[in-house]
Amino acid sequence: MSNNLLQSWLRLPDGERHDLTGTTSIGRAPDNSLPIADHEV
């Protein structure tokens, strides 16, 4: 099986892609792996 099938990512509305590897935290807090500056997150 190809490793590409097991890869996860997040694509933002502007087209920017963030590969998600290991443990990834997403949210408004600046200490997240992927901080999102949006008051509705």
Tokens 């935290």 — which residue? 25
Residue 37's Cβ-count burial label (10 Å; 0-12, 13-18, 19+) is exposed
- Any idea where the domains of the chain sit in the sequence? 3-35
What confidence score (pLDDT) does residue 5 get?
A: 59
- Mean pLDDT along residues 28-38: 90
Specify the higher pLDDT residue, 5 or 23.
23
Tokens 């998600």 — which residue? 20
What confidence score (pLDDT) does residue 2 get?
A: 53
